[in-house]
Amino acid sequence: MPSYYGLQILLHPQVYEPAEDTFLLAENLAVKEGDIALDVGTGTGLIALLMARKARYVLGVDINPLAVELARKNARINGIKNVEFRVSDLFENVSGRFDVITFNVPYLPGEPEEPIDLALVGGEGGREVLDRFIREVPRYLKPGGTVQMVQSSITGVKETIRRLEEAGLKGKIAARVHVFFEDIVLINATMQGGGV
């Protein structure tokens, strides 16, 4: 069983395996002691479990029921209790507001065919899932809270920052890593006029 950042993580062929985009997020998490955190598209649960080290409570959601089952197993294996996982299409089964919301964005253009594709394919133009997330996320963010999104340069980082502004969020590139033919970019966004 592979280990990431001191956590034992079971993998599944139909659940996105932690990769460069996951690690970029893992190494730059904005979560603070006592935060209430949400991990959208939780996959193996790795990011949610890492946030649970500091957060008071973490909710991890995924559209893929296999991912949710796997993430629950990973929480049990690591003895992490302050985390909950549930099936949700973005915010469909989420209520309340959070200090930190993370999302490793699916960004390939196309339509998902298998469960694993849900982690990779972001709709016909590659931005559909991302744009829906941006439109909906302000309702779930506490004042002064932070949204952290990992996306590929393929999908248009400037476009994401522009859309965040339209939604009342101030976004900036917090970190990036170059992989093959693209940059994987971490964007941190906060409510306009809120704390940083």
Average pLDDT value for residue range 31-47 = 98
pLDDT of residue 179: 84
pLDDT of residue 196: 41
pLDDT digits (tens, 9 = 90+) for 51-107: 999 999 999 999 999 999 999 999 999 999 999 999 999 999 999 999 999 999 887
- 4 Cβ contact partners less than 8 Å away, ≥ 6 residues apart: 18, 23, 26, 46
d(CA 147, CA 63): 19
Nearest residue to 133 (alpha-carbon basis) of 86, 176, 167: 167
pLDDT of residue 64: 96
Q: What percent of the chain has pLDDT over 70?
A: 98
pLDDT at 194 over 70: no
pLDDT at 117 over 60: yes
pLDDT at 158 over 50: yes
Average pLDDT value for residue range 161-187 = 93
d(CA 59, CA 44): 13
pLDDT at 112 over 50: yes
pLDDT digits (tens, 9 = 90+) for 25-34: 999 999 999 9
Q: Which sequence spans correspond to the domains of the chain?
A: 3-191
- 44 Cβ contact partners less than 8 Å away, ≥ 6 residues apart: 9, 10, 11, 12, 15, 16, 17, 18, 67, 70, 71, 74
Higher pLDDT, 58 or 180: 58
pLDDT band at 193 (very low <50, low <70, confident <90, very high): low
pLDDT digits (tens, 9 = 90+) for 142-154: 999 999 999 988 8
d(CA 79, CA 69): 15
Average pLDDT value for residue range 39-51 = 98
* CATH class for the domain made up of 3-191: alpha beta
pLDDT of residue 195: 44
pLDDT of residue 133: 97
